[in-house]
Amino acid sequence: MKALVTVASIQNESAGPSYTVPSLCRGLAKNGVDVQLHVLDSVPTCEREYSVINYERRRFPVMALGRSPEMLQGLKDAVTDGDIVHNNGIWMMPNVYPAIAKRGTKCKLVFCPRGGLAETALKRSRIKKFLMGHFGGQYMALRETDMFHAASMKELLEIRALGYKQPIALVPNGIDLPDVAHKSFGETKRKIAFLGRIHTTKAVDHLVKAWGNVAGKFPEWSLEIAGPDCGAVSTLKTIIAEKDIPRVSIVGELHGMDKYTFLASVDLFVIPSLTENFGITIAEALACGTPVIASRGCPWERLEEKGCGWWIDIGVDALTAQLENALDHSPVELERMGIVGKRWMAAEFSWDEIAKKMIESYKWLCMGGIKPDFVQLV
């Protein structure tokens, strides 16, 4: 089987697709799929189990659209002997090209919107999305999709809410289990952490305000915020200064093992996002043995079912109450939760298992037979 995986870019290391798309390609290749990754911009040079074809984007009319006639032609050439073209992302030309390229071929289009069809996402840059949808071909590409790929039930429901009736493969993102030991939960100095893009949709201001509400009760705890500034750091600094919130550090962007070392060095990970289609940092924190508090904007209700965290309402009040509860837990209790989370990630979220599910859905789409139970029909 030959799969062409497409994504606009993997240059931004802090963006989820920059990790998950290459990881999926690696998993597919290790399970016998002939994988080509088609991507704009330069990519790091390293040995891979799959091939990478990268293209330059044209600056006219708008560089951010990712226009690349070379990418379109490259995909047209590749689909002639391809079985699957698996698009990742939406609202850019590289997310339209696969639908154009596969016309008249046996190649099937799998479309993963990567959170781009969430209600909150659709409200942002409405004019751009209107133009891309009606005149750039994005709505056409969605209509001509053979199967959607949703990373969570939340994303699946978002796709259905827009009226799309194609099959949907519900396959989450995977996680690499880092070779890093968790800190001792019994240490005197204890930490809460956030890691991710510091953007308004992440609602990190909710965490800062909630921490300000409880910080006086827990003098042994501190809050550390890591990630690139996507326009919200100045707001956080203003809140911290105006409310005189103690023991808050903004530590900047982290990548690779530095990221995992950071996640393993804290006692509790908090992600208060307004919306996430998956939330890869939750899986990364759990894989490092750290329990998690996640808002209901994140599709991680199983945190409570598994006993490795809490899934709470969005907002400062709910987060304040849950921080008080979580910080009252003993080091032994938090350590137990962390161990449970790490085992859960190993059992269900390894890239090998995720790739096998994706291949099963590809084969069903191309050849028929018994439908996988994780593929939903209308």
φ, ψ for residue 70, nearest 5 deg: -65, -35
Q: DSSP secondary structure string, 296-362?
A: TTSS-THHHHHTSEEEE-SSHHHHHHHHHHHHTS-HHHHHHHHHHHHHHHHHH--HHHHHHHHHHHH
Q: How far is CA 176 from the centre of its chain?
A: 14
User: How far, in Å, CA of 370 to CA of 260, rounded?
Assistant: 40
- pLDDT score for 14: 64
- What whole-number percentage of the chain has pLDDT above 90? 83
pLDDT of 186 > 80? The answer is no
User: How far, in Å, CA of 346 to CA of 175, rounded?
Assistant: 8
Cα distance from N-terminal residue to C-terminal residue, the chain: 27
Q: What is the pLDDT of residues 104-140, one digit of tens each?
A: 999 999 999 999 999 888 998 999 999 999 999 999 9
What are the domain boundaries of the chain?
Answer: 2-174+350-376, 190-348
User: How far, in Å, CA of 196 to CA of 215, rounded?
Assistant: 22
pLDDT of 13 > 80? The answer is no
- pLDDT score for 117: 94
CA dist 30 → 346, 352, 356 (Å): 18, 8, 10
Query: Hey, what are 239's tokens?
Result: 């809140």
Pick the CATH number of 190-348 from 2.115.10.20, 3.40.50.2000, 3.40.228.10, 3.30.360.10: 3.40.50.2000
Pick the closest to residue 194 from 163, 222, 218 (CA basis). Answer: 222
Question: What order of strands is seen across the sheet that includes strand 190-195?
Answer: 248-252, 221-226, 190-195, 268-271, 292-295, 309-312
Mean pLDDT, the chain, whole residue set: 94
Q: What is the pLDDT of residues 246-269, one digit of tens each?
A: 999 999 999 889 999 999 999 999
Q: How far is CA 167 from the centre of its chain?
A: 21
Burial per residue of 72-88, b for 16 or more beta-carbon CB atoms within 10 angstroms, e otherwise: bebbbebbeebbbbbbb
CA dist 120 → 125, 236, 253, 275 (Å): 11, 21, 25, 7
pLDDT-based confidence at residue 146 (cuts at 50, 70, 90): very high
Q: How far is CA 132 from the centre of its chain?
A: 23
What mean pLDDT is predicted for residues 205-221?
Answer: 97
Say if strands 168-170 and 375-376 run parallel, antiparallel, or are unpaired: antiparallel
Pick the closest to residue 2 from 105, 150, 143 (CA basis). Answer: 105
Contact indicator for 102, 143 with CB cutoff of 8 Å: no
What mean pLDDT is predicted for residues 41-49?
Answer: 79
Peptide bond into 61 cis (omega under 30): yes
- pLDDT score for 308: 98
Contact indicator for 54, 42 with CB cutoff of 8 Å: yes
- pLDDT score for 256: 86
Phi-psi category of residue 279: left, alpha or beta, with phi > 0 → left and psi -120 to 50 → alpha: left
What mean pLDDT is predicted for residues 174-182?
Answer: 87
Query: Hey, what are 196's tokens?
Result: 């991710």
User: How far, in Å, CA of 14 to CA of 227, rounded?
Assistant: 7
CATH 3.40.50.2000 fits 2-174+350-376, yes or no: yes
User: How far, in Å, CA of 363 to CA of 2, rounded?
Assistant: 11
Q: DSSP secondary structure string, 248-306?
A: EEEEE---HHHHHHHHHT-SEEEE--S--SS-HHHHHHHHTT--EEEETTSS-THHHHH
Q: What count of Cα atoms within 13 Å lies in the side-chain half-sphere of residue 180?
A: 23
- pLDDT score for 273: 96
User: How far, in Å, CA of 230 to CA of 236, rounded?
Assistant: 12
What mean pLDDT is predicted for residues 145-173?
Answer: 96
Examine domains 2-174+350-376 and 190-348 and report if their fold is the same.
yes
pLDDT of 166 > 80? The answer is yes
Q: What is the pLDDT of residues 343-370, one digit of tens each?
A: 999 999 989 999 999 999 999 999 999 9
pLDDT of 209 > 90? The answer is yes
Other CB atoms within a 10 A radius of the CB of residue 360 amount to: 19
